[in-house]
Chain A
Amino acid sequence: MIYVNYEIIELQQFSGKRAGIYSVMVANDNLTLFDHFVKAYVKEHAGEIRSITQYLAYIGNRYGIQNRFFKVKRGWSAEVSCALFDHPEKKLRLYCFRIGTAALIIGGGMPRTGRTGRTARMGVPEKLLDRISRDISRKIQTGDIYWSDQDGRLEGNLIFTTEGD
């Protein structure tokens, strides 16, 4: 069995007084899942990528994590939280995991496919985010990670090991 180590890190350009915005960095990688998403699609979908970065900055600094920003689709794993920026007129969607109303962990993203936007099977970033969301849920239940009211940030053991592909 292959195991993958990864770490939850805070994205300074998005986090603010309204919410902490985080992403995942896998061991031996210099970039987060969100960085990889941007790199993959910034040439073909430059305008949407720019909109997404603004969107995240607004969530972290001005609006906070509100239910209306997210979409949970039927048929997705219950552990995979939601999608951001999921609009029929948009080409991209961003997967994420919410922790209450104060922390958001961004995974990767993928282009929407077909009229309904359904993908034939789970893409790589969605599958990894599925595992990550289960790991985080478990650690929250055990108290290994928690929300700090004082600092307004996620704290605890933010380094994980999970099954790889």
Chain B
Amino acid sequence: MRVRVNKQPAGSRHPIANGHQIENQQQTDDQIENKHQMENKQQGARKYSSKIIADVMASITPLESLQVETRFILAGRIAGIMDGKRMSNKELAARMKKSPSEISRWLSGTHNFTIDTLSEIAIALEVPVMAFFMPSQPRVVRDVRLTVRSGDIPPDNISFVPVTSAY
């Protein structure tokens, strides 16, 4: 098995960037050739695997991973409950006597919630605190209004809304 670092292949459709595509794993010549053929046929963006990003991701500890994941999940649950109640950031902020920007930060997925803050949010949303730690039930939409617009719209571009939504 020959080992090589991927360079810009001859005939590549990417003459501008003069970089090396850095791969972390060894590849056979057949695999490398197949990959270049696939990339040359694609009309999409060149796919890039960064060693710098790979090194960072390899250094993430299980604790850090869980912390980020938990913040995302909590923010998502709160946002989901607000959506279900059709409550805006402004409304929740008014209920809690906070600024809308603070609510936005909570929902961004980066906030480290305290138990006390979650309790306050639960009261404002009128749900038990445990609701933030349980998967939400899927929302059932029984009546749908389908809108199909003609004109300069691609044929597969349609929109639909539940008839219960307020406009």
A residues apposed to B, CB below 8 Å: 5-14, 20, 22-23, 25-32, 34-35, 38-39, 42, 46-47, 49-51, 53-55, 57-58, 62-63, 66, 68-69, 71, 85-90, 148-149, 151, 153-156, 158-159
Cβ-based interface call for B36 (8 A): no
Of the residues A31, A87, A156, contact of B111 by C-beta under 8 Å: A87
B143 within 8 A of A: no
The residue that B47 contacts in the complex, of A10, A42, A155, with Cβ under 8 A, is A10
Given A25-B17, A55-B110: A10 and B65 within 8 A (CB)? Answer: no
Stretch at the interface among B26-34, B52-60, B90-98, B131-139: B52-60
| Chain B interface size, under 10 / 10 to 19 / 20 to 34 / 35 or more | 35 or more
Instruction: Answer yes or no: B19 CB below 8 A from chain A CBs.
Output: yes
Report how far A35 CA is from B19 CA in the complex, Å.
13
Task: Give the residues in chain A near B53, CB-CB below 8 Å.
Answer: 11, 13-14, 34-35, 38, 53
The docked-state distance in angstroms from the alpha carbon of A76 to that of B129 is 38
Beyond known contacts A25-B48, A155-B44: 19 more, CB 8 A cutoff: A12-B49, A14-B53, A31-B52, A32-B48, A34-B50, A38-B52, A38-B53, A38-B56, A46-B59, A53-B57, A53-B60, A55-B109, A68-B109, A71-B108, A87-B111, A90-B110, A155-B43, A158-B46, A159-B14
Q: Looking at the complex, which one of B45, B68, B156 makes contact with A158 (CB distance below 8 Å)?
A: B45
User: Which residues does B use to contact A, with CB under 8 Å?
Assistant: 14, 16-20, 43-50, 52-54, 56-57, 59-60, 64-65, 68-69, 72, 75-76, 79, 104-105, 107-112, 156
List, in ascending order, chain A residues with CB within 8 A of B65's CB.
54
Docked complex Cα distance between A124 and B137 (Å): 45
Q: How far is the CA of A148 from the CA of B154 in the complex (A)?
A: 12
What is the CB-to-nearest-CB distance from A52 to chain B, in angstroms, rounded to a whole number?
A: 9
A6: B residues at CB distance < 8 A: 16-17
